Structure 1
Amino acid sequence: MSETSGAPAEPDARRIAFLGVGMMGEALLSGLVRDGRVLRFVVSDRDEERAAQIAEKYGATAAPAAEAVAAADTVLLAVKPQSMAELLDEIGAHLRPGALVVSIAAGITAAYLEQRLPEGTAVVRAMPNTPALVGEGITAVSAGTHASHGDVQQAQELMRTCGKVVAVPESQLDAVTAVSGSGPAYVFYVVDAMVEAGVLLGLPRTTATELAVQTMYGAATMLAETQDHPVLLRERVSSPGGTTVAALRQLDDHGVRAAFLTAMEAAARRSAELASGQL
């Protein structure tokens, strides 16, 4: 198997195997190609045609999973949770000693992976979210039993090419899933409601969409850049007796805050169920 990339390979270049190149796997691969530091990588997918297309698109090599991991320093597991057991059986005997395994599969614990990989394998779990597709994601990483501080740093370096990274204990990943993993869907839900309200009030849909999307983007940018508490920023928009106060009163009367809390508790609970094997 020959290995290629968008830049000349160096003898000590880190080799990364991507097992699963769906939406998120491709996003991470794209980020690494843009970053330019990882010079050798190989991709594998159950859909061989998809793997070949991705390999050609990003200057990688396509190979079966067992062959892909044989010479890899880092292995990224990006398959669906229900496909994980079969994949681990396929690659276990071929994993390179000392290789770091990074999994982005939701609900698959580090212990589950460690039990099915060679003894002592360093495992790091990562929970990215879909804004990684545009380089604005955030990922939480958690170390498994055998992962060193250096292993965690490598995983963070890998995920940072698609956005920000935080390190958390694995016990907090269900909460991370509820806040940031599922979080983009909450934002899309709210924007959709804002657009529909604009249309109801007489705006053209394209205008309502532009207003809602830019308002959400601008508000998020203010939060990130000012570092002010959301309550403080909200109060700056809420003039006494004004339109914003009237609107917020309706949201409170309809229990929107409580609904968000309940919804996110449900997301965390479902994440825990997946982790316990209830796929």
Structure 2
Amino acid sequence: MPSPRIAFLGAGNLASAIVRGLLDEKVCAPADLVCTSKGGETARKLAADTGIGHEADLARLLAGADTVIVAFKPQSLAAADPRLAELTRGKLVLSVLAGKKLATLARTFPHARALVRTMPNTPAAIGAAFTPYCSLAPLAEADRALVERLLNALGQFAALDESYFDALTAVGGSGPAFLFEFVAGLRDAAVAAGLPPDVAYRAALETTLGAARLLARSGQPPETLRDKVTSPNGTTYAGLQVLAQRDFRATLRDTIAAATARAAELSKDS
């Protein structure tokens, strides 16, 4: 089955991650994808880097597209070109805009044949995303299959109720940044403990990767694997005592709560 023609409204980091995921997994060829961006610079760069098309004129961009991926900045939705309502008539519209609810999206894309909200994260670029999705109305079988085919190219996906999306934005959308910060902190701590910077970074990165792979493959709860590493009164125990004293899990709860609250603020109608 030939790949559908997909138009990207926006060409920033998330759009780039999705494009690269689709191309790497061979779900689409470069000729099947086209993008645009405000000012055109990021669209030209994405096109040059990946071989996809770019088109500044909105009508020409959408003329041949069956699927439209909305990937500009969420705050730009309120000022989106009013022609989008008619130009997306009869098309499958898939949004990756953080915090923008289906009811809000429907005001900009009132005539879409199907309207889907998703929240992929940047690991989509290597086919390792977790992407929840929901739709304004039940999807026709062909549209559901298309949505899941696209999302499958990005990694794991799940159809979930929209009420979960603020928390999913905090965990899935923002979560990679929190993990990157953890690796940076582990690296800096290793340097402070006396390791050379290059060795410290390699040790922090590979330890994180290895532990995550082990966890994913084991099928066991993280606490079980933690306990297997921990000897009574050993080095791991000493470190875990500090995490417990500083209430590490409470810090993570506060982090996710803050991100969830911000997602809820962004989802309020302006």
TM-score, with normalisation over the residues of structure 1?
0.89
Question: Cα–Cα, structure 1 residues 24 and 269, in superposed 2: closer, same or farther, change >3 Å?
Answer: same
Tell me the alpha carbon deviations over residues 158-213 of structure 1, each in whole angstroms, 9 at most, x when there is no partner.
Answer: 12222221221111011111211111122112112211111111111111110010
Tell me, yes or no, if the aligned pair for 2:88 and 2:111 is still in contact at 8 Å: no
Q: What secondary structure, in the 3-state scheme, does the structure 2 residue paired with 1:140 have? A: strand
Q: Take 1:60 and 1:146, find their aligned partners in 2: how far apart are those partners?
A: 31
Tell me whether 1:158 sits opposite 2:113 in the alignment.
no
- RMSD, aligned CA: 1.9
Q: Residue 121 of structure 1 contacts residue 146 of structure 1 at CA under 8 Å; is this kept in 2?
A: no
Unaligned runs of 5+ in 2: none
Match of 1:60 among 49, 52, 56: 52
Which has the higher mean CA deviation after the structures are superposed, 234-243 or 82-91?
Answer: 82-91
Equivalent in 75, 83, 100 of residue 90 of structure 1 = 83
Q: 1:100 aligns with which of 78, 86, 92?
A: 92
Which deviations, in whole Å up to 9, do the C-alpha atoms of 1:41-67 show, x marking residues without a partner?
221111324323433443333222232
1:33 matches 2:26: no
Structure 1 match to 2:12: 22
Superposed displacement of residue 96, structure 1: 4.0
Given that residues 195 and 212 in structure 1 are in contact (C-alpha distance below 8 angstroms), is that contact kept between their aligned partners in structure 2? yes
Cα distance in 2 for residues equivalent to 1:56 and 1:267: 34
How far does the alpha carbon of each residue in 1:77-129 deviate from its partner, in whole angstroms, 9 at most, with x for none?
000011123335232111242x1100001111111111222346311111011
The Cα shift of 1:250 comes to 0.9
User: Is the 1:19–1:65 contact (alpha carbons within 8 Å) kept by the matching residues of 2?
Assistant: no
AA at the equivalent of 2:75: Q
8 Å contact from structure 2 (residues 93, 112) kept in 1: no
Equivalent residues of 2:11, 2:35 under 8 A apart: yes
User: What is the one-letter code of the residue matched to 1:214?
Assistant: E
- Which structure carries more relative contact order (alpha carbon 8 Å, separation 6+)? 2
Aligned with 1:89: secondary structure?
coil
**Alignment correspondent of 2:229:** 237
Any conservation in 2 of the 1:141–1:156 contact (CA below 8 Å)?
no
Distance 1:76 1:88 in 2: 15
Cα distance 1:96–1:115, how it changes in 2: closer, same or farther (>3 A)?
A: closer
The aligned residue for residue 254 of structure 2 is 262
Residue number in structure 2 paired with 1:6: none
251 and 104 in structure 1: CA distance in 2 versus 1, 3 angstrom threshold:
same
Q: Kindly provide the CA deviation profile for residues 126-149 of structure 1, in whole angstroms up to 9, marking residues without a partner as x.
A: 101122233322211111236445
Q: C-alpha separation between the residues in 2 aligned to 1:130 and 1:176?
A: 14
Q: Is 2:135 aligned against 1:135?
A: no
Residue 266 of structure 1: SS of its match in structure 2?
helix
Q: In 2, distance between residues paired with 1:176 and 1:116?
A: 23
